[in-house]
């Protein structure tokens, strides 16, 4: 395990949306239910895929801006979205290729896992629970857990302190510029996945330490 990156990390910090879980269909569905409640036009799943990654509040601002709706609707739409999403966080969401095997391998190797997401804590916990992997993570940091979220290094530094791990001995896994920049600012090497949500920008442009097609590649098995 981990021969591709040349060291065995003492802590693996994982982004959630777009890295472990393809969650855009549920986010899209619940956003549209909240838009319906307010009599506003629906958005497409492609739009949502380009907006996810900076937390729920920013997501709602993107929706309002795209529909040319007044910013004053933000708090109402956010509350509606959170209500719907909390009730139906995992109707369509699925792990990406290699994720269950990767989590299992880390568990078996005794490598602690933290989930570091910009998604608010409550739905992040609900999603991990629904996918039956909450217990794989010794720590969950949501977008509303600390004063700053990614790309600020604070969530990663919080994890490093919690586990007493030095930055260079940890590993960040992510799909977006937020993850790569947070890792860089915290001094943590970063494996990026190219399949997630990066606001339309190729992940190469963010210059992560490594890019792998899926997390199964880190397990040193021959690809299927």
SS (H, E, C) 2-25: CCCCCCCCCEEEECCECCCEECHH
- The verdict on 216 binding Mg ion (CB under 5 A) reads no
69 vs 152, which CB is nearer to ligand PGA?
A: 152
Q: Which two tokens stand for residue 169?
A: 């001995």
Of 12, 32, 48, 54, the residue at the interface with ligand PGA (CB under 6 A) is: 54
Residue from the set 28, 34, 35, 53 that interacts with ligand PGA by CB under 6 A: 53
Integer Cα distance of 116 and 106 in angstroms: 16
Q: What is the rounded CA–CA span in Å between residue 183 and residue 89?
A: 27
Residue 115 main-chain phi, psi, to 5 deg? -105, 125
Give the one residue of 9, 13, 15, 150 binding Mg ion; rule: CB under 5 A: 15
* 175 known member of a binding site: yes
Question: Does residue number 17 form part of the binding site for ligand PGA (CB under 6 A)?
Answer: yes
Segment interacting with ligand PGA (CB under 6 A) among 65-73, 76-84, 101-109, 115-123: 115-123
The binder of ligand PGA chosen from 15, 22, 26, 181 (CB under 6 A):
15
Minimum CB distance to ligand PGA, residue 52 (Å): 5
For ligand PGA, the closer CB: 19 or 165:
19
* Residues 113 and 215 sit within 8 Å (Cβ to Cβ): no
Asked if 176 and 15 count as a contact pair (C-beta separation under 8 A), the reply is: yes
136 annotated as belonging to a binding site for a ligand: no
The residue behind tokens 């506003």 is 40
CB within 8 Å of 89: residues ≥ 6 apart: 26, 123, 126, 127, 130
Q: What stretches of 117-165 adopt beta strand conformation (E)?
A: 139-141
54 binds, among Mg ion, ligand PGA, none (CB under 5 to 8 A by kind): ligand PGA
Kindly tell me the sign of the dihedral angle through the C-alpha atoms of 136, 138, 140, 141: negative
Nearer to ligand PGA, 1 or 47 (CB): 47
98 binds, among ligand PGA, Mg ion, none (CB under 5 to 8 A by kind): none
Q: 């600020």: which residue's tokens?
A: 152
Has 22 been annotated as catalytic?
no
Per CB under 6 A, which region of 31-39, 51-59, 160-168, 180-188 contacts ligand PGA?
51-59
Of the candidate spans 14-22, 38-46, 61-69, 100-108, the one that interacts with ligand PGA by CB under 6 A turns out to be 14-22
Give the catalytic positions in this structure. 15
List residues binding Mg ion (CB under 5 A).
15, 17-18, 175-176
């Amino acid at each position: 395990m981990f021969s591709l990156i040349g060291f065995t990390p003492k802590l693996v910090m994982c982004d959630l949306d777009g890295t472990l879980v393809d969650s855009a269909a549920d986010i899209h569905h619940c956003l549209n239910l909240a838009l319906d409640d307010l009599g506003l036009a629906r958005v497409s799943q492609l739009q949502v895929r380009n907006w996810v990654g900076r937390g729920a509040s920013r997501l709602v601002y993107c929706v309002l801006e795209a529909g040319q709706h007044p910013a004053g609707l933000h708090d109402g739409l956010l509350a509606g979205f959170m209500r719907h999403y909390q009730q139906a966080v995992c109707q369509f969401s699925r792990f990406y290729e290699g994720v269950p095997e990767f989590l299992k391998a880390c568990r078996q190797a005794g490598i602690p896992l933290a989930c570091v997401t910009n998604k608010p804590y409550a739905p992040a916990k609900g999603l991990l629970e629904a996918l039956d992997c909450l217990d794989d993570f010794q720590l969950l940091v949501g977008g509303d857990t600390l004063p700053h979220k990614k790309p600020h290094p604070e969530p990663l530094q919080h994890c490093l302190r919690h586990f007493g791990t030095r930055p260079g001995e940890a590993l960040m896994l992510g799909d977006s510029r937020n993850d790569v920049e947070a890792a860089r600012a915290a001094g943590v090497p970063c494996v990026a996945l190219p399949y997630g949500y990066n606001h339309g920008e190729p992940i190469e442009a963010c210059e992560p330490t490594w890019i792998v097609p899926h997390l199964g590649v880190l397990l040193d098995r021959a690809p299927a």
